[in-house]
């Protein structure tokens, strides 16, 4: 068993990282700290996951989010996709193994991967709306967010979602508020089978080694760790029974990379605000021609347009989170 | 559970059959993932559906619901045929060698003594041959043709892999893989754990499903050992406590029984509860029955229960029928014989079968009292909710009184988990609004009734007027006071038998355990098996020490387990006949030459010599039973019976419908459907996102699984033109529901006796109250019949039809 985190302190605790530990800041520069903090990571062992959605529940509760009661569309996935309130969802795939003809029910917890080389941050034109701490956590700073949707475009995993209510982008924070006081993410705390564990990246890799060995002994010859090099590795990693085919896990990208266009248009949009929408349009066209994978929805387009009309807006609307 | 949740980590093989542990017990399931990850244990799932548990299993085999006995007897047959038996264990610790009476037989699906008109057996031949010395006759060589082993061998011989496939629809090769994996656990150094739940109990032969696996576990030597056992995963956090405390109509706490009308006096009651040992030198622990019973009576009626009045025996109700189970209660309501109903923490409108009958029954009541923290459907059964509760409110005259109660998090007390651990918890919040603790409500009802009796008199007032009520605040007994009462105390000074001047336990002190209970009235104990939970050492249930020497998984200082903090029942059987552990790496107890020592509280007298005293001390034989004598109504061995509503006929006994002794009320038989009219085999179950009908009141849970659905195979969907996410109507002979369709590869049609059987899965969490979308439950469809022994309704196997319909207009 992976040693669980001790109970949280009952007295106020000094945050273990903050502004001084930023290594990246969107559309702006930071003075990197003299010493980088130990990198953290969350390991999601898909082979231990029973799809109970305790992680989804814990995420909603800890972050005090209000998701709508949806409908059943004929699958177990609910909500059906990530939303500004559902920062993580379980994705269920019924996959028949062509070798054994056995059914495998692949259940993957989807959410932000906290890339070492974060495409969202690189794409973001709003200064300080997306930051990366030296421990690897990529966080959205909502007061700086202009809701342009570039982060969605820049993300090779299609994770951020723009709220229709406050027109800001939302994604998993890796519970940076909990980690700052020595706790693991709420999802890891709630996971009954330790399919989600949290610690330093090195600890997670070595824990994964043990799991992969176990899976190989059970006949999963291609079991492995998903820590894609195309984005510099991630601070959320998966143990997969079929690491040679990540795409069977509800479309987990085989070799995720930041769209080359992010660098291309970044020069144009270095300065945020009303200039953004122009760059956005250029990017959209180019991106759909070249990559064509992640899509900015109609809503996002509308939001971005409205934003541009209001010349950046002050965006102080409160989120409907009650 | 014979073992505990934490002990599951010690296993080599987990068999989940008749349950879906990952789905319904996700927190406890962590010990399965732990056994897999740390010990390399394997997990087998046998289920009609490829479940969430199956998603992390090493091997999955499909089975048609309601055919488990055929499968399990098939595995027993496989083990016998392939000599995969833990022989030393089987010979020494089971009744394999016992000779059964002449005249006992099984033929055409029936055991000796069947009376069709009574739907019951004369069980007189279902017993051991008793020798002139008064003890059961045994043949250690197992040569006698009527010894239990040979009868068992003969009984299971028909359940070949071919017959198993014909009945269960499990492909032969898959059955053989499961049988082979299980049979390997006949080794004394390999153990298997059986994790089951309502997938086995909710059948008209539910008790026998469990017996079949228990027998298999016995011949493999897996009972009483670490990582083994029969592990019932209880469906509520405290349902183990419910049965322990005797909230069954035929029980009083601690599995003592309510007297029947045929036992008018205390002496006549005790005359059949002597539990004389059936073999020499056996403990036969139930010989202490009188001590437990008298102590219970003292807890109930204090000083008013005296030796002179048979310890107030007359004040206990006497049953005129075997039990007033829920099916009987609603039958009585339906026939106008029961006019008032107190419903405490229960939602019968969604929980009991044949909802139409339940609605009709509730509508005939004069009054209905609902004590619940939630607005249940039962409390609103009279309210029209369109298709979801289509009643004519004006025609219902039942007066409904709702008493808002508190939820577990607003109260202090203990919950007894599946592993028999009594875990104390403290209130985490204050009750909202007018909500009151159940103890306050019950106290108020009692005090007011008592006052009425005092003022106005009435028939048999004694049990109410004399009820012991020794609480500091009579208006609200505290959980600690109630727990102390369950533990038991001295009602008088108890002196040393060798020195009457020496007081060993002063009046009013807590007894240390049930070993201190007496039959002379000097002790009181509300529930003997809980004795030790709150003694002079304090509240042992509140202990939170996580130490676990040598990582055995026992955690003896965490909370308290009944009986006497024992974590694994029958643990003496973890060692061989001479008292040496079967598996040194999984040592639990051993005989050191003078006494039993080890990691757990011995389930035997500490100085009981290993070669002399058998490990199954609750049985007068001292051994476990492969042949259960006349203890069960439907046979000393399990036999395959189809559900009352089955897609195929019973190939073993074509003339027998359902369980031949299951009770069926008049008019309910006509409401059983047949396969011609209702071709599909339905089953019901829980989903992990919800807990019964509670969490649909919680917004977050409603988000995670918002809407009622049914699950069908891609093949059936194609045949019926049903689309994924489309709307369907599902109906049985008793009712109809509409639902969304989940079309899945996880359900496959089975071939049973040459016929394609389609399975329809119906989860149970929706109703017309709460935060989730309005929906139905399977009980609108299920038949009104229960298990032959304990009347658990047959929710797991029934017949329906299905068709696509137009969805609701958005």
| Sole residue written with tokens 């058998």 | B614
Do the beta carbons of residue B69 and residue B641 sit within 8 Å? yes
**A286 pLDDT more than 60:** no
pLDDT at A278 over 60: no
A301, pLDDT greater than 80: no
The conformation of residue A264, written as its DSSP 8-state character, comes to H
Query: Which residues, including other chains, have CB under 8 Å from residue B115's CB and lie 6 or more apart?
Result: B121, B122
Q: Which of B48, B51, B55 to mutate to test the interface with A (most CBs of A within 10 A)?
A: B55
Res A289 pLDDT > 70? no
**Span B712-722, average pLDDT:** 98
**Tell me, what's the pLDDT at A280?**
54
**Contacts A56 to B, Cβ<8 Å:** 704
pLDDT class of A264 with cuts at 50, 70, 90: confident
Are B419 and B5 spatial neighbours (Cβ–Cβ below 8 Å)?
Answer: yes
Separation of alpha carbons B107 and B783, rounded Å: 28
Helix axes B206-219, B68-81, angle to 10 degrees: 20
Query: Is the CB of residue B350 less than 8 Å from the CB of residue B377?
Result: yes
pLDDT at position A291 is: 47
Q: What is the mean pLDDT of residues B498-512?
A: 96
CA distance B717 to B759: 11
Element (H, E) at B246: none
Average pLDDT, integer, range B287-314: 98
Instruction: Tell me the fold of B6-235.
Output: Dimethylsulfoxide Reductase; domain 2 (3.40.228)
What pLDDT was estimated at residue B474? 98
pLDDT greater than 60 at residue B80: yes
Looking at the predicted structure, is the pLDDT value of residue B574 above 80?
Answer: yes
Percentage of chain A with pLDDT > 90? Answer: 76
Mutate to test the interface with A, among B53, B56, B553, B766 (most CBs of A within 10 A): B56
- Residue B782 makes CB contacts below 8 A (sequence gap 6+) with B353, B354, B684, B732, B734, B793, B794, B795, B798
A64 and chain B: CB distance < 8 Å anywhere? no
Q: What are the residue ranges of CATH 2.40.40.20 in chain B?
A: 669-805
Which among B22, B26, B745 has CB closest to A94?
B745
In this prediction, residue A277 carries a pLDDT of: 52
pLDDT at B536: 98
Q: Which two tokens stand for residue A175?
A: 């519970």
pLDDT digits (tens, 9 = 90+) for B423-459: 999 999 999 999 999 999 999 999 999 999 999 999 9
Those of residues 721-750 in B touching chain A at CB distance below 8 A are 723-726, 740-746
Given this model, what pLDDT does residue B246 score?
86
pLDDT value, residue A315: 35
Average pLDDT score over chain B? 97
| Contact map slice: A 170-209 vs B, CB within 8 A | 192-195
pLDDT at A319 over 70: no
Contact assessment for residue B371 and residue B345, using Cβ atoms and an 8 Å cutoff: yes
Residue from the list B52, B743, B744 with its beta carbon closest to the beta carbon of A50: B52
Each residue's pLDDT tens digit, B333-345: 999 999 999 999 8
pLDDT, mean of residues B410-420: 97
Supply the ipTM of this predicted assembly. 0.95
Q: Mind listing the pLDDT tens digit for each residue in A187-198?
A: 999 999 999 999
What is the C-alpha separation between B258 and B313, in angstroms, rounded? 10
Question: Residue B644 has what pLDDT?
Answer: 98
pLDDT value at residue B776: 97
A320 touching B (Cβ < 8 Å) = no
Is the Cβ–Cβ distance between B391 and B360 less than 8 Å?
no
Residue A24 binned pLDDT confidence (cut-offs 50, 70, 90): very high
> What are the start-end ranges of the E strands in B270-350?
340-344
Q: How much is the pLDDT for B254?
A: 97
B377 pLDDT exceeds 60? yes
B189-235: pLDDT as tens digits? 999 999 999 999 999 999 999 999 999 999 999 999 999 999 999 99
Cβ contact, residue pair B688, A50, below 8 Å: yes
Q: What is the pLDDT of residue A265?
A: 65
Min Cα separation B477/chain A (Å)? 33
Among chain A residues, the shortest Cα distance to B704 is held by A78
Closest-CA residue in chain A for B710? A74
B34 in contact with A, Cβ within 8 Å: yes
Which residue from A311, A216, A317 is spatially nearest to A272, judged by alpha carbons?
A: A311
Average pLDDT in the B324-338 region?
96
pLDDT digits (tens, 9 = 90+) for B249-292: 999 999 999 999 999 999 999 999 999 999 999 999 999 999 99
Q: In 3-state terms, what secondary structure has residue A270?
A: coil
For residue B560, what is the enclosing H or E element?
strand B560-561
Contact A212, A168 (CB under 8 A): no
Judged against a pLDDT cut of 60, whether residue B35 lies above it is answered with: yes
A296 has pLDDT over 60: no
Distance from the Cα of B2 to chain A's closest Cα (Å) equals 23
pLDDT tops 60 at residue B667: yes
Q: For B702, which of A69, A94, A102 is closest by C-beta distance?
A: A69
Mean pLDDT value of segment B621-641: 98
> pLDDT band at residue A279, thresholds of 50, 70 and 90?
low
The verdict on a CB contact (< 8 Å) between A105 and B34 is no
Cα torsion B333, B334, B336, B339: sign: positive
CB pairs under 8 A between A and B: 125
CB contact under 8 A, A214 and B40: yes
Structure tokens at B485: 């009462």
Residue A275 has pLDDT above 80, yes or no: no
pLDDT attached to residue A302: 52
Min Cα–Cα distance to chain A from B51, Å = 9
Q: What is the pLDDT of residues A85-123, one digit of tens each?
A: 999 999 999 999 999 999 999 999 999 999 999 999 999
Checking if the pLDDT of A307 tops 50, the result is: no
Give the B window 72-111 contacts with A, CB below 8 Å.
Answer: none
Residue A314: the pLDDT is: 39
For residue A67, report the phi and psi dihedrals to the nearest 5 degrees.
Answer: -95, 155
Q: What's phi and psi for B402, nearest 5 deg?
A: -100, 125
Residue B638 pLDDT: 98
Q: In the prediction, which pLDDT does A299 show?
A: 52
pLDDT confidence band for A304 (50 / 70 / 90)? very low
Interchain contact, A74 vs B742, CB within 8 Å: yes
Dihedral (CA of B478, B481, B485, B491) sign = negative
A86 to chain B: which residues are within 8 Å by CB? 703
Q: Which residue has the tokens 């150094």?
A: B189
Stretch(es) of chain B classified as CATH 3.40.228.10:
6-235
Percent of chain B whose predicted confidence (pLDDT) is above 90:
99
- Residues A50, B740: C-beta atoms closer than 8 Å: no
The pLDDT value recorded for residue A292 is 41
Interchain proximity B56–A49, CB inside 8 Å: yes
Average pLDDT over residues B762-777: 97
Which fold does the domain B669-805 belong to in CATH? Barwin-like endoglucanases (2.40.40)
The per-residue pLDDT for A316 is 36
């Amino acid at each position: 068993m992976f040693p669980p985190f001790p109970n949280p302190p009952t007295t106020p605790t000094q945050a273990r990282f903050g502004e001084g530990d930023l290594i990246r800041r969107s559309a702006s520069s930071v003075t990197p700290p003299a010493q980088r903090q130990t990198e953290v990571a969350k390991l999601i062992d898909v082979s231990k996951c029973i799809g109970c959605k305790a992680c989804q529940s814990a995420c909603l509760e800890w972050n005090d989010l209000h998701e709508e009661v949806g409908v059943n569309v004929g699958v177990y996935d609910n909500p059906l996709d990530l939303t500004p309130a559902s920062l993580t969802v379980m994705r269920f795939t019924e996959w028949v193994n062509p070798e054994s003809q056995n059914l495998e029910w692949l259940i993957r917890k989807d959410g932000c991967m906290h890339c070492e080389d974060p495409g969202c941050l690189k794409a973001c034109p709003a200064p300080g709306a997306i930051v990366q701490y030296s421990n690897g956590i990529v966080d959205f700073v909502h007061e700086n967010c202009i809701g342009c949707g570039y982060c969605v475009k820049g993300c090779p995993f299609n994770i951020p979602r723009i709220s229709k209510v406050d027109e800001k982008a939302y994604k998993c924070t890796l519970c940076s508020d909990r980690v700052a006081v020595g706790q693991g993410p709420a999802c890891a705390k709630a996971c009954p089978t330790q399919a989600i564990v949290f610690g330093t990246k090195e600890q997670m890799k070595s824990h994964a080694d043990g799991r992969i060995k176990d899976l190989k002994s059970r006949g999963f010859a291609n079991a492995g760790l998903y820590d894609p090099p195309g984005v510099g590795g991630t601070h959320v990693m998966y143990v997969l029974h079929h690491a040679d085919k990540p795409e069977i896990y509800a479309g987990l990208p085989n070799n995720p990379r930041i769209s080359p266009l992010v660098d291309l248009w970044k020069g144009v949009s270095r300065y945020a605000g009303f200039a953004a929408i122009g760059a956005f349009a250029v990017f959209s066209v180019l991106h759909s021609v070249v990559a064509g994978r992640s899509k900015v929805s109609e809503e996002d387009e509308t939001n971005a347009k409205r934003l541009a009309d209001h010349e950046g807006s002050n965006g102080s609307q409160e989120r409907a989170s009650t | 559970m014979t073992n505990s949740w934490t002990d599951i980590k010690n296993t080599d093989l987990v068999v989940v059959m008749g349950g879906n542990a990952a789905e319904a017990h996700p927190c406890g399931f962590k010990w399965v993932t732990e056994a897999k990850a740390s010990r390399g244990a394997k997990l087998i799932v046998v289920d009609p559906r490829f479940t969430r548990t199956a998603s992390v299993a090493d091997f999955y085999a499909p089975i048609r619901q309601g055919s488990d006995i055929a499968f399990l007897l098939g595995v027993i047959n496989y083990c016998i045929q392939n000599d995969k038996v833990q022989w030393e264990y089987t010979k020494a610790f089971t009744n394999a060698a016992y000779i059964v009476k002449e005249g006992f037989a099984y033929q055409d699906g029936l055991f000796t003594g069947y009376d069709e008109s009574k739907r019951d057996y004369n069980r007189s031949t279902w017993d051991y041959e008793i020798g002139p010395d008064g003890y059961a006759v045994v043949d250690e060589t197992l040569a006698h043709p009527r010894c239990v082993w040979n009868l068992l061998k003969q009984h299971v011989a028909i359940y070949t892999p071919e017959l198993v496939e014909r009945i269960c629809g499990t492909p032969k090769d898959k059955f053989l893989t499961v049988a082979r994996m299980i049979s390997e656990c006949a080794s004394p150094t390999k153990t298997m754990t059986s994790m089951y739940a309502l997938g086995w109990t909710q059948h008209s032969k539910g008790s026998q499903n469990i017996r079949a696996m228990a027998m298999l576990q016995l011949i493999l030597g897996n009972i009483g050992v670490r990582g083994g056992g029969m592990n019932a995963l209880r469906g509520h956090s405290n349902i183990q406590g419910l049965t322990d405390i005797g909230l069954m109509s035929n029980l009083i706490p601690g599995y003592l029984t309510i007297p029947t009308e045929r036992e008018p006096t205390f002496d006549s009651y005790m005359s059949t509860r002597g539990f004389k040992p059936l073999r020499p030198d056996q403990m036969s622990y139930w010989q202490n029955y009188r001590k437990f019973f008298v102590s219970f009576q003292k807890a109930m009626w204090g000083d008013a229960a005296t030796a002179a009045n048979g310890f107030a025996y007359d004040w206990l109700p006497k049953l005129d029928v075997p039990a007033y189970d829920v099916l009987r209660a609603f039958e009585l309501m339906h026939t106008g014989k029961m006019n008032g109903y107190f419903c405490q923490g229960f939602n019968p409108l969604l929980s009991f079968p044949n909802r139409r009958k339940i609605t009709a029954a509730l509508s005939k009541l004069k009054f209905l009292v609902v004590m619940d923290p939630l607005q249940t459907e039962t409390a609103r059964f009279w309210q029209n909710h369109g298709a979801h509760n289509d009643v004519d409110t004006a025609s219902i005259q039942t007066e409904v009184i709702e008493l808002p109660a508190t939820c577990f998090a607003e109260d202090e007390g203990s919950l007894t988990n599946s592993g028999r651990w009594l875990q104390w918890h403290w209130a985490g919040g204050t009750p909202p609004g007018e909500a009151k603790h159940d103890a306050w409500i019950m106290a108020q009802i009692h005090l007011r009734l008592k006052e009425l009796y005092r003022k106005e008199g009435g028939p048999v007032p004694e049990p109410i007027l004399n009820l012991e009520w020794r609480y500091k605040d009579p208006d609200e007994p505290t959980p600690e006071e109630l727990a102390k009462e369950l533990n038991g105390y001295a009602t008088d000074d108890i002196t040393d038998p060798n020195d009457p001047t020496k007081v060993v336990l002063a009046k009013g002190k807590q007894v240390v355990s049930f070993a201190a209970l007496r039959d002379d009235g000097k002790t009181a104990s509300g529930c003997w098996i809980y004795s030790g939970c709150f003694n002079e050492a304090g509240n042992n249930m509140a202990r939170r020490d996580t130490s676990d020497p040598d990582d055995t998984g026992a955690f003896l200082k965490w909370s308290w387990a009944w009986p006497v903090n024992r974590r694994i029942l029958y643990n003496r059987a973890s060692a061989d006949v001479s008292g040496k552990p079967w598996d040194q790496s999984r040592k639990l107890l051993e005989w050191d030459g003078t006494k039993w020592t080890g990691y757990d509280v011995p389930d035997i007298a500490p100085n009981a010599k290993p070669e002399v005293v058998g490990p199954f001390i609750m049985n007068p034989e001292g051994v476990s039973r492969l042949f259960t004598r006349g203890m069960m109504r439907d046979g000393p061995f399990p036999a395959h019976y189809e559900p009352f509503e089955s897609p195929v006929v019973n190939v073993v006994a074509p003339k027998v419908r359902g369980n031949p002794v299951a009770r069926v009320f008049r008019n309910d038989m006509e409401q059983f459907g047949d396969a011609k009219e209702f071709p599909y085999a339905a089953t019901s179950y829980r989903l992990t996102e919800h807990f019964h009908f509670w969490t649909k009141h919680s917004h977050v849970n409603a988000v995670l699984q918002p809407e009622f659905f049914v699950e069908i195979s891609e093949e059936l969907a194609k045949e019926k033109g049903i689309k994924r996410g489309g709307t369907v109507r599902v109906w049985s002979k008793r009712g109809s529901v509409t639902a969304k369709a989940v079309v899945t590869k996880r359900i496959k049609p089975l071939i049973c006796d040459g016929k394609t059987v389609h399975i329809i899965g119906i989860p149970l969490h929706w109703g017309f109250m709460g935060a989730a979308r309005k929906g139905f439950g399977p009980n609108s469809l299920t038949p009104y019949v229960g298990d032959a022994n304990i009347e658990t309704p047959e929710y797991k196997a029934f017949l329906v039809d299905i068709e696509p319909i137009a969805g609701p207009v958005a």
